[in-house]
Amino acid sequence: MSNLLTLSDAIRTHLHQGDCVALEGFTHLIPFAAGHEIIRQEKRDLTLVRMTPDVIFDQMIGMGCAKRLVFSWGGNPGVGSLHRLRDAVEKHFPHPIEIDERSHAAMTVSYTAAAAGLPFGVMRGFLGSDLAQYNPNIKFIDCPFTGERLAAVPAIRPDVAIIHAQRADRAGNVHLWGIVGVQKEIALAARKVIVTVEEIVDDLDAPANACVLPAWVVTAVCHVPGGAAPSYAHGYYDRDNSFYQAWDEVSRDRENFQRWMRENVMDTVPVKGGA
């Protein structure tokens, strides 16, 4: 083989302008390093997909990568607003973005439908909620057996899914654990999958029924230690809660934000690693 690439090569080769790209990780294992590389490579017109946009999408939106946002909860967890997201939605800065807004449950149903090769998924939801009024991607169907009215949401099949995991072996098999979120689902939902990992090991030695992605479903594995910071990687490092708190101040002001991004993302050397 192998599917081992540098992060820079993986993003350059596999993510194109205008793509639909999902970066998943539910608080845990958020692929920050990959998001920064996308910003550095100035990918534009992306449809960004993530249940919880978090600081990583705040940065990508603020830097002009996003044409459209598919999401379900766009706050800074435990802190407050995502100011760059709000600035884009409320004031169209740096440019307007389209919003495809759902609920957490609906996002997971869309991911699992795509992973299972189905065009849509069924859930009991959105009855009485205004979300369905504003989002044509939420429809209602009747159960053919009971007649019950249920919500239907279309599969989300990104061009590229990017996740962060704790480990891969040299063959490119990936193992993650702890709060595994929807990473397996989004990886199997997408056409291509890029995984950044803390560590490359000789033998995964994964426990029974662990969350493992076999190498043959992974487009690229990139060795990026610390690639989830300031979120956390269970067993490697903690969430940097102080960063999330500090981000509120950094991101409130456009120029302050841009300066921070220049100094901390744009002018930094891309993370090395890979084969």
The answer to whether 214 contacts another protein (rule: CB under 8 A) is yes
CA atoms within 13 A on the CB side of 138: 24
The answer to whether 108 contacts another protein (rule: CB under 8 A) is yes
Instruction: Compare residues 128 and 136 and give the one whose CB is closer to a copy of itself.
Output: 136
Q: Give residue 169's identity as a one-letter amino acid code.
A: D
- The nearest distance, CB 194 to another protein, in angstroms, is 18
Cis before 94? omega within 30 = yes
Judged by CB under 8 A, the number of residues near a copy of itself is 28
Binding partner of residue 47 among another protein, a copy of itself, none, CB cut-off 5 to 8 Å per kind: none
Segment interacting with another protein, rule: CB under 8 A, options 39-47, 56-64, 121-129, 260-268: 121-129
Closest residue by Cα to residue 72 from 41, 96, 47, 49: 49
The answer to whether 177 contacts another protein (rule: CB under 8 A) is yes
Q: What residues are paired with 49 via a beta bridge?
A: 22, 70
- For a copy of itself, the binding residue among 25, 121, 158, 274 (CB under 8 A) is 121
For residues 103 and 267, give the distance between their C-alpha atoms in angstroms, rounded to a whole number: 36
Segment interacting with a copy of itself, rule: CB under 8 A, options 35-43, 74-82, 112-120, 220-228: 112-120
Task: Pick out residues in 31-50 that bind another protein (CB under 8 A).
Answer: none
What's 207's DSSP letter? P
- The CB density around residue 5, as the number of other CB atoms within 10 Å, is 22
Q: Give residue 201's identity as a one-letter amino acid code.
A: V
Judged by CB under 8 A, the number of residues near another protein is 84
The answer to whether 125 contacts another protein (rule: CB under 8 A) is yes
For residues 146 and 195, give the distance between their C-alpha atoms in angstroms, rounded to a whole number: 42
- For another protein, the binding residue among 12, 67, 159, 188 (CB under 8 A) is 188
Instruction: Compare residues 11 and 22 and give the one whose CB is closer to another protein.
Output: 22
For residues 1 and 22, give the distance between their C-alpha atoms in angstroms, rounded to a whole number: 26
Q: What residues are paired with 100 via a beta bridge?
A: 70
Binding site for a copy of itself (CB under 8 A): 117-124, 137, 139, 141, 143-146, 148, 150, 152, 154, 177-178, 180, 207-211, 234
